[in-house]
Chains A and B, each alone.
Chain A
Amino acid sequence: MLSRLKLWVLIISFLILAFLPIVAEAIGEEFYISLVARMMIFAIAAMSLDLILGYGGMISFGHAMFFGLGCYSVGILAFYEITNGWVQLAVCVFGTALIGLFVGYISLRTSGIYFIMVTFALAQMFYFLGISLETYGGDDGLPIDTRSEFFSFFDLSEELNMYYLILGTLTACTILGWKCVNSRFGMVLRGSRANLPRMEAIGFPTLKYRLSAFIISGVMCGLAGFLLGNLTEFLTPEYMHWFRSGEIMVMVIVGGMGTLFGPLYGAFAYLIFEEVMASFTEYWQFYFGPILIVLVLFAKQGLWGLLPGKERLGDE
């Protein structure tokens, strides 16, 4: 279970997010609304990666693939003037699930270094596919003219509605993720991370469990991409680039791997860091690279691990 302190930190964080637009409008800095909305989207993506990375021990270096695919499901449908949000959502969920099934099945046949390389290569395959699709903008990307339309009373072209849709999705994903990792399913997943042969010897069909986790995580990341497409009103294969996958992975490690909530803070921390550093120097990655190496060497518990109180992780 969560310690009392961590629970309060979480509750207060979500409350801050809920009231942020009101404050931002009051002080006349509406710019912060879309900035924080973008951070929340990456938080969803980072959390989804933590599901398979931290809990399942599957080091996927191609998670941005789902991010991009979610975005494409909005963009391509909008291109054909299908702006019904429910249809787009259905395409996004089933599309990412199907591709997750395919990629997961292929890559889970391998393990260790192979798994990393195969997820990396397959994600790049979708990236290059996106580039070669000239109809949908190819390399340059494609503007999305209309945001998804869900209810007549909930117009997403209103920035506030967009913000609260993202916050709602983040909340739902967080609760769902927490339920997921603490269920029997989550236990099996952590078990196969700690000792795969033993789990198999006990009689668990670990491939099914791991593949399901891979798909759930992929769909969740796809949702994040779905929201990003709507928020930025733009579609680009750049979202699928391996660099994005690396970034999402960095967010997980900065927040604390295998903590589920940590990556939320990791996403915020990383994006704020990027924003601040980029305002100082064009070459901020020159400094960030070594910082990352130092982080990996000395600060593995991440931000969430700085708070006292251990989660019940089972395999520690």
Chain B
Amino acid sequence: MTLTLFLEQILNGVQFGVFLFLISAGLTLVLGIMNVVNLAHGSLYMLGAYVSTTLYTLTGNLFIAFVLMVPILLIIGMIVEIIVLRTMYERDHMDQVLATFGLILFFNELVRILWGVEGVGMKIPDSLAGSIDIGVPYPSYRLLIIAMGILVSVALYLMITKTRTGMQIRAGASNRPMIGALGINIRILYTIVFGLGAVFAGFAGLMAGPIISIESGMGEEMLIFAFVVIVIGGIGSIRGALVASVVVGVFEIVGRSILPYILLQLVTPDQAQTAGPALASMLVYILMVVILFFKPQGLFPARTG
């Protein structure tokens, strides 16, 4: 394998990590602050992709599609929170799993009814279709994803650490009854956090739209990765989600591409042919198991006291 290819794979890994971060950032806040299992978070990512595709087709401009997508996803997220999730806070995890499983079924069928069973496609805008030479030639759209990811991460970090709402969110994560006692309307705070999580997931859906196939059930594929990220990073920790996203993203993409080369050095080509794909599909889970073995609370446990 050449160095250029290797660099390109690392960039692909980072770019995959950006998606993972956009999805798991919202999810980890919901899990950490509200102590709710939300399986339906992947559905918001899926809805983001579908809604953006339609908006992009209608307006012909990706940026306008983005601007319109944000309030739509925010409202969808808040409605889901008010109708379903809100009734689940006082209940046990079992009920939350089942209710959000019900949501997944609903949304997966909904998009099939509204957009058809075949799935839809989204094109990369012409202005971004080329590639840029940054040592290696790299598609400019994918570069944009990485740049946007960094931008959003910084914005999220500033929001969580510097603003009043962010402070309330962090306080909510560490002590729920206390922040309520201090006169913060915890219900509205929860609704806002959930809506924001939906927007981030939807944004990931928008960015991913042109480079993946948009179809019913696409959310759950990412949900599993997001779970792995959160387990590794620690529930409720934005910093953990960021680190774990990039690690998992790079591990998944780079691991898959260099594993066959490594195996060739160790075993016969025939064995490598069989074991390669099998091992590659298990890589991130093995990483998760190893980290869990040493750190059952994840790398950056949010609650320390």
Q: Out of A246, A257, A283, A291, which one reaches B109, CB within 8 Å? A: A283
Q: Out of A112, A133, A135, A292, which one reaches B102, CB within 8 Å? A: A292
Does B103 have its Cβ within 8 Å of any Cβ on chain A?
yes
Does B35 have its Cβ within 8 Å of any Cβ on chain A?
yes
Residues of chain A within 8 A of B228, CB atoms compared: 121
Q: From residue 259 to 305 of chain B, which have CB atoms closer than 8 A to chain A?
A: 274, 277-278, 280-282, 285, 288-289, 292-293, 296
Number of A-B contacts (CB under 8 A): 116
Does A42 have its Cβ within 8 Å of any Cβ on chain B?
no
Interface residue range, chain B:
35 or more
Residue of A nearest to B280 (CB): A132
Does A211 have its Cβ within 8 Å of any Cβ on chain B?
no
Does B220 have its Cβ within 8 Å of any Cβ on chain A?
yes
Does B94 have its Cβ within 8 Å of any Cβ on chain A?
yes
Does B75 have its Cβ within 8 Å of any Cβ on chain A?
no
Residues of chain A within 8 A of B113, CB atoms compared: 283, 286
In the complex, A131 Cα to B277 Cα: how many Å?
9
Interface string of B124-160 (1 = CB under 8 A from A): 0000000000000000000000000000000000000
State whether A131 and B281 are in contact (beta carbons under 8 Å apart), knowing that A109-B296, A283-B112 are contacts in the complex.
Answer: yes
| Inter-chain contact A289/B103, CB cutoff 8 Å | yes
| Inter-chain contact A121/B93, CB cutoff 8 Å | no
| Inter-chain contact A117/B231, CB cutoff 8 Å | yes
Does A202 have its Cβ within 8 Å of any Cβ on chain B?
no
State whether A132 and B281 are in contact (beta carbons under 8 Å apart), knowing that A59-B93, A286-B106, A292-B102 are contacts in the complex.
Answer: yes
In the complex, A253 Cα to B92 Cα: how many Å?
13
Does A183 have its Cβ within 8 Å of any Cβ on chain B?
no
In the complex, A297 Cα to B292 Cα: how many Å?
33
In the complex, A113 Cα to B36 Cα: how many Å?
8
Residue of B nearest to A246 (CB): B101
Shortest B233–chain A CB gap in Å is 12
Does A79 have its Cβ within 8 Å of any Cβ on chain B?
no
Name which of A1-9, A122-130, A159-167, A220-228 contacts chain B. Answer: A122-130
Does A120 have its Cβ within 8 Å of any Cβ on chain B?
yes
Does B105 have its Cβ within 8 Å of any Cβ on chain A?
yes
Residues of chain B within 8 A of A59, CB atoms compared: 93-94, 97
| Inter-chain contact A113/B277, CB cutoff 8 Å | no
Residues of chain A within 8 A of B97, CB atoms compared: 59, 61, 116, 249
State whether A296 and B98 are in contact (beta carbons under 8 Å apart), knowing that A121-B227, A131-B281, A285-B108 are contacts in the complex.
Answer: yes
Q: Which residues of A approach B to under 8 Å, CB–CB?
A: 53, 59, 61, 106, 109-110, 112-114, 116-118, 120-122, 124-125, 128-129, 131-135, 242, 246, 249-250, 253, 257, 283, 285-286, 288-293, 295-297, 300
Show 6 A/B contacts (Cβ-Cβ < 8 Å), sorted by A: A113-B93, A117-B37, A125-B281, A125-B285, A286-B105, A288-B105
Q: Which residues of B approach A to under 8 Å, CB–CB?
A: 31, 35, 37, 84, 87, 93-95, 97-99, 101-110, 112-113, 220, 224, 227-228, 230-231, 235, 274, 277-278, 280-282, 285, 288-289, 292-293, 296
